[in-house]
Structure 1
Amino acid sequence: MTRAIISFDTELSAGLYQRGADARANFESSILGRCRDGDYGVHFQMDMLERFDLTGVYFVDPMPALVYGPEIIDAIVAPIVRRGHEVQLHIHTEWLAFARFNPVGRLTGRNIGDFPLAAQKKLVALARDILVGAGAPRPTAFRAGNFGANDDTLRALAALGFRHDSSFNGAYQGRGCDITLDAGNLGMRDHQGICEVPVSGLMDRASRFRPAQLCAMSEEEMRDALDHSAASGAIQFSAFSHSFELLSRDRQVPNRLAITRMEALCRAVADDARVTSGGFATLPAPPARPRRIQVAAPKPLRTLRRIVEQGVGYLAHEVRYLRDLIYVTVNSSRWGKIAGGVLLAVA
């Protein structure tokens, strides 16, 4: 059986903090997914998962506790644990730039992979302790913010007793993800003393990997990627989203396209007899000689259908964001004013 791991990077926004958002406003936007039409964050996601009798994995980032205090992490963790979904560890090291206490002195960086091994151990250990202090079971799996991990990250995790990492995303290779694995192999395998569970996906062009993310894949692509994993005998199919991903980019309205995609993914997992739902806590270990799981080949018409769907969805759900972008374009240059005027006329 293939284990379908539907995970959510559950995080407050450092960008909102920089723009002056207090703890409550950041929590409501980033965690509750609150907009004028209601809440579309973690509670909405759990409601949908439970409607299909599925279990989700929430990779919770405890680093904002260094800025807002630990109570805000308690508020994130408690309902997830209470409803029986899995809490694992996530880290966005961007928060160190604003922290009242920096456990690694003056070191800062966008990704945990930007830090030396000893500092990575300190950061992971601190984040783990904050998460456990918030009421989560001791985490056994980790995902780096921005997928920005390297081999030292895996060494740090192994030294601290973690069993799984899910920071390897082929779409981020060369863009922060510096784990030295073959992006053409989606199979679980041991690396640097820990079991790496790559983000699943498929090739949408001959040389471009498309990750199994709600905002990145069409329903068709997600179903095809799931089917490919199950048909290939993969131990896992790993799809991911964010706690705020069911909102429009400006977070003012729900993104109906993303919501429809999540529902379709849940239904596909629930209806496939080859697939089970769950997290990392009971994930089988890879065999001593793990099987290579080749990435599914591209299908040009499928890619074209998704591009069209994304374009229509963008116009339907991101008009306000588009108008803001046009405003910047109009005021940036003479040619921008001309182009922007044309865009405004049709937007």
Structure 2
Amino acid sequence: MLDVFFTVDVEIWCEGWQDIDKQFPEAFRRYIEGPTSKGRYGLPYQIEVLNQHNLKGVFFIEPLFAMRCGQQALDDIVGLVRQGGQEVQLHLHTEWVNESREPLFEGYQPKRQYLRHYNLAEQTRLIAKGIEMLHKSGVQDINAFRAGNFAFDRNTLSALAANKIPFDSSYNASMFGSDSGFMPGVQLVEPIECEGVHEYPMTVFNDGTSTLRHTQLTACSSEELLSLLWQALEQRRNSFVILSHGFELLNKAKNSPDDVVVRRFHKLCAFLDRHRDSFRTCGFRGLTPTSVTAQPGPLKSPLSRTGARMMTQLYRNRYG
């Protein structure tokens, strides 16, 4: 049995940092509700499809935007996920820190894009603030975290331990993982314990062009995802971590569904539902952690599947 984590990063972005307050209501609609002429394809739609297949998702919700745009919007997002019976965990994008109406730190604070740009004490404070804000939204049992853009460092694990969060899923070998200071010289692809925290890394694979790629709903074809799941099962891997976003079923303009990705999402859910004797979708609550000392290499996908995905991408770019 392979543990599959379907993780969804839930975040909101305005068009730049000017006129945020004016832009925010429309940004909320685009990034959370996802209205289109064909219906809503945002967060509620993802939750509905998961529930139709009785699958568990992990929704890493970014709360720092609410320091500027208000707690009610965060409450609404958390309410959607909780009412859908899905798991809420903590996500931080530190680009919002210097937009707060009540500064978290004294003195002038320039915009720092990544959590790893903050020292240990600052990271500990930011994570505590995120927990506090999710607590206000009614979530009391947060036990997992993901840094925005996967841009964490070893201090992040110490900060999580200080805040009594036992799980992290910020390590991505294809993005920032190698220079995170976490296990230098080792490419992490399976869970391991460090600084008292269990790290569950993004699942990555060599895509046939010797490029390391993480398993993301918009970045992998259905054929790649399903074959990689079988491969991980055959290799007796412990976990398979997939990335999505709350807005990922929409096109780039976020005004229409991305039909290719919508079909991909449905196919993945149907596959996991049909093969639940081999794959268990799960979250971090109640999870018994594993730790793999000898890390295997990345999974592999043949060039033929990479080529097929590239052709599909050309279609999406032209007609999406």
Shorter-chain-normalised TM-score: which range? Answer: over 0.9
Match of 2:172 in 1: 169
Match of 1:242 in 2: 245
Q: Could you list the per-position Cα deviations for residues 283-313 of structure 1 after superposition, in whole angstroms to 9, with x for gaps in the alignment?
A: 22114x5453431124111111111111112
Q: Cα 1:207–1:152, aligned 2, differ >3 Å: closer, same or farther?
A: farther
Match of 2:66 in 1: 65
Q: Cα 1:207–1:182, aligned 2, differ >3 Å: closer, same or farther?
A: farther
Letter paired with 1:42:
L
Match of 1:330 in 2: none
Unaligned runs of 5+ in 2: none
Q: Cα 1:148–1:279, aligned 2, differ >3 Å: closer, same or farther?
A: same
2:126 pairs with 1:112? no
How far off is 1:315 after superposition? 1.2
Q: Out of 156, 159, 162, which is 1:159 matched to?
A: 162
2:37 pairs with 1:36? yes
| TM score, norm. by length of structure 2 | 0.92
Letter paired with 1:284:
T
Match of 1:50 in 2: 51
Q: Cα 1:248–1:181, aligned 2, differ >3 Å: closer, same or farther?
A: farther
Letter paired with 1:278:
C
Once superposed, what is the RMSD of the aligned Cα atoms? Answer: 2.0
Could you tell me how far apart the structure 1 residues matched to 2:264 and 2:223 are?
9
Q: Cα 1:174–1:286, aligned 2, differ >3 Å: closer, same or farther?
A: closer
> Mean alpha-carbon deviation: is it higher for 47-56 or for 203-212?
203-212
Match of 2:263 in 1: 260
Q: Which has the higher helix share?
A: 1
Q: Could you list the per-position Cα deviations for residues 250-295 of structure 1 after superposition, in whole angstroms to 9, with x for gaps in the alignment?
A: 11111011111111111222222211111111222114x5453431
Correspondence list, 1:82-101, <5 A: 82-101=83-102
Q: Could you list the per-position Cα deviations for residues 138-157 of structure 1 after superposition, in whole angstroms to 9, with x for gaps in the alignment?
A: 31000011111111011100
2:19 pairs with 1:13? no
Match of 1:339 in 2: none
Contact (CA 8 Å) 2:14, 2:23: kept in 1 or not? no
Match of 1:147 in 2: 150
How far off is 1:78 after superposition? 0.8
Could you tell me how far apart the structure 2 residues matched to 1:72 and 1:267 are?
32
Contact (CA 8 Å) 1:23, 1:72: kept in 2 or not? no
Q: Could you list the per-position Cα deviations for residues 51-100 of structure 1 after superposition, in whole angstroms to 9, with x for gaps in the alignment?
A: 11101111000001111111110010012112210000000000123221
Could you tell me how far apart the structure 2 residues matched to 1:2 and 1:132 are?
31
2:305 pairs with 1:315? no
Three-state SS of the structure 1 residue aligned to 2:103 is: coil
Q: Cα 1:25–1:178, aligned 2, differ >3 Å: closer, same or farther?
A: farther
Could you tell me how far apart the structure 2 residues matched to 1:134 and 1:277 are?
25
How far off is 1:207 after superposition? 3.8
Task: Percent identity, please.
Answer: 28
Specify which structure has the bigger relative contact order, considering alpha-carbon pairs within 8 angstroms and separated by 6 or more residues: 2
Contact (CA 8 Å) 2:34, 2:247: kept in 1 or not? yes
Three-state SS of the structure 1 residue aligned to 2:54 is: coil
Could you tell me how far apart the structure 2 residues matched to 1:221 and 1:179 are?
28
Q: Cα 1:268–1:116, aligned 2, differ >3 Å: closer, same or farther?
A: same
Match of 1:280 in 2: 284
Letter paired with 2:235:
S
How far off is 1:111 after superposition? 0.8
Three-state SS of the structure 2 residue aligned to 1:198 is: coil
> Mean alpha-carbon deviation: is it higher for 197-206 or for 239-248?
197-206
Unaligned runs of 5+ in 1: 318-347
Could you tell me how far apart the structure 1 residues matched to 2:195 and 2:125 are?
18
Three-state SS of the structure 1 residue aligned to 2:244 is: strand
Correspondence list, 1:212-231, <5 A: 212-231=215-234
How far off is 1:17 after superposition? 5.5
**Structure number, greater radius of gyration:** 1
Contact (CA 8 Å) 2:221, 2:309: kept in 1 or not? yes
Q: May I ask how many residue pairs the two structures share in their alignment?
A: 316
Q: Could you list the per-position Cα deviations for residues 109-143 of structure 1 after superposition, in whole angstroms to 9, with x for gaps in the alignment?
A: 10111101100000000011101111123310000
Three-state SS of the structure 2 residue aligned to 1:283 is: coil
